[in-house]
Chains A and B, each alone.
Chain A
Amino acid sequence: MIIDMYAAGIAAVFGLLGIGLYGLMTLRNLIKVILSLQIIGKAAVLAVVVAGSISGEIAVAQSMAASVIVADTLVAVIGLALAVQMQRCHGSLDLRTLSMKFHTPPEAENGG
């Protein structure tokens, strides 16, 4: 029974990772991209917890998971701050149009 729990945990890690990577590849809205990053982050936290329970180092794994959650939240905060700024100075959250705007030849910038 306990083996099945590990297998389920590992399957969930791969599932979350797959969802996150798929989202990163297909979505172009910055907020959705950040959501995908968060899903991959959850996969990593789950991987840490599963690994800790397999090797019996559950205390280590729990403290690691708590730290990862903090780091992950920081990343989300900064990403969302960038999203606010992008909406403000670009008027859209679509990453494709941001890259397009930026495809002006370098000569056009720093003109003079």
Chain B
Amino acid sequence: MNAAAWLISLPLASSPLIYLVGRLPLESRRAARWQIAWALSLAVLAGMWAVFAAAARDLAALPAAPAAVPALTVEVGALSLRINGLSLFTAALVLGISTLTVIFSGVGVLGKGGAEKYFAMILATSGAMIGMACAADLFNLWLWFEAMMIASLMLVAFAYDRPAALDAAIKYLVQNVVGSLLALMGIALVLGSAGSLRLDAVLDEAASPALLAAGALFILGFGVKCALVPLHTWLPDVYTHAPIGTAALFSGAITVSGLIAMLRALAPLGGAAEVWGSLLLGFGGLNIVAGNLLALRQKELRRLLAYSSISHIGFMLLALGVALYSHETAAAQAGLFHLINHSVMKALAFLTIGGGLYSLGMDADRPMPFRHLRGLGRSSPLAALALTLAILSLAGLPPLAGFISKWQVFEAGMASGSQAAGALTLFAALNTLLSLAYYLPVVMLLFADAPADRIAMRRPLPRLMQIPLLLLLALILLFGILPDLARLLTDPASTALLGGFGGMDTLTNLNLNGGSLWQIFY
């Protein structure tokens, strides 16, 4: 058994343990029971980071094979896993977001008891997401996906005594279960017409009607999770009414893991990659415009960020659609880079909202109406700075991370050679301007005046909350100034992603400039 298998088994095995430790009648004067569970989950996450580093080293040490995606193979009984660049990319994303979320939750932002369940479920969700990215066949992919859905549902339904949270959980449950069952029917179609579910082999007759229908079912089914536009209605409710850490985890990892699952499931149907590419392009345009228009009307920050997530997923779809359409690794790299940046920015924004509500002395799991933002710049400068930079980066202003990845996405779209993709890219660029119309008022409010007595009432942010905010802030600046750092993750991931669609030797790699700011302006 390869050490990399611990990346999945460690969180899944420790999740019930953490729950039990949190429930044990261990009374200590120095730490509450949930704090022991918290420390234990941090230890597990640290262990996962160590395993991650070992797996990354093993993968880099593999001898290069020109026609195949490099992958570590793990066989545990009947279960087989393949760890490639895309798996490591997903693992890094999931581990990063969940570690920061767990650290943040250490001050007890959860309004009521039961924090041990929360930490246990965060670990279970992370393990299932990493498993999803490592699965070696379609059905295992689906099982991990379903496990992730069930575990994350518990996170959404955490505040189950509030009707709004219940409503969000029920919407999430119903829509995502229908989605995953549709994807399962797609898998049945693949099994029936090809007899093989392997993810690492491209099927010959990918343009047969049954397999085309299967691909459409994958896009629909996994598209519910990654909020393709007509299927997005669960997302704003979940982002608004789930606990704040859950919202950060969702926006940072869970939603986009639906996108990764979709792309992985489409890989065996790689013979029709152009069809899937054009479909993703179409959904990308729809997501960008619908997300922006819906965000314009919002009066509540978490809901606004949810709609902006929908439009950012559109940008990722745009780049990944171009990548599938023209077999272009630079476009996939741009899409995955935007995916990382979006996760960092959204996690920062949501965690800062949690911090802001905490400093106002409010329940951090509730919505954040705009009027509470007034004067945040005076009372808690770090939170205001973090929120400002997160929002400006989401809007795509230089020199922040969101600018550079959007630039790469646009460049990839323009370089694709297809007129439709070019027009769509132009449209997306114009939409970026539209998005300023809802981002900027939020920033103005942060620095607006507020009654002095309300400012004086506010609590400072505890150290444990500041650590994740500062780390994420540093990442936004770092990726903005030195975007090539992200290539350590995105280059192997984009090769693994597109190589899965077949024709490893025909991959082209445009050298997008956009490497850094000064290159663009030269």
Interfacial residues, chain A to chain B (CB-CB below 8 A): 13, 17, 21, 24, 30, 33, 37, 40-41, 43-44, 47-48, 50-52, 54-57, 60-61, 64, 67-68, 71, 74-75, 78-79, 82, 85-86, 89-90, 95, 98-99, 101-102, 105-107, 109-110, 112
Contact = CB atoms under 8 A, between A and B. Distances in A.
B76 interface: no
Contact of B167 (A43, A47, A102): A102
A55 B211 CA distance: 14
B161 interface: yes
B419 to A, nearest CB: 37
Contact of A109 (B160, B164, B174, B181): B164
Contacts of A86: 163, 166, 170
B170 A74 contact: no
B178 interface: yes
Contacts of A48: 184, 187-188, 191
Contact of A98 (B170, B178, B181): B170
Interface in B166-195: 166-167, 169-170, 173-174, 177-178, 181, 184-185, 187-189, 191-195
Nearest to A54: B192
Given A78-B153, A106-B299, A110-B369, A60 B161 contact: no
Interface in B343-382: 357, 360, 362-363, 366-369, 371-372
B139 interface: yes
B143 interface: yes
A17 B184 CA distance: 12
Contacts of A102: 163-164, 167
Contacts, number: 130
B188 A47 contact: yes
Contacts of B188: 44, 47-48, 50-51
B174 A33 contact: yes
Contacts of B303: 106
22 contacts: A30-B170, A37-B178, A40-B178, A40-B181, A51-B191, A52-B192, A55-B193, A56-B195, A57-B195, A64-B191, A75-B177, A79-B173, A82-B170, A85-B160, A86-B163, A89-B161, A101-B163, A106-B299, A109-B366, A110-B366, A110-B367, A110-B372
Contact of B185 (A43, A55, A75): A43
Nearest to A106: B300
A55 B191 contact: yes
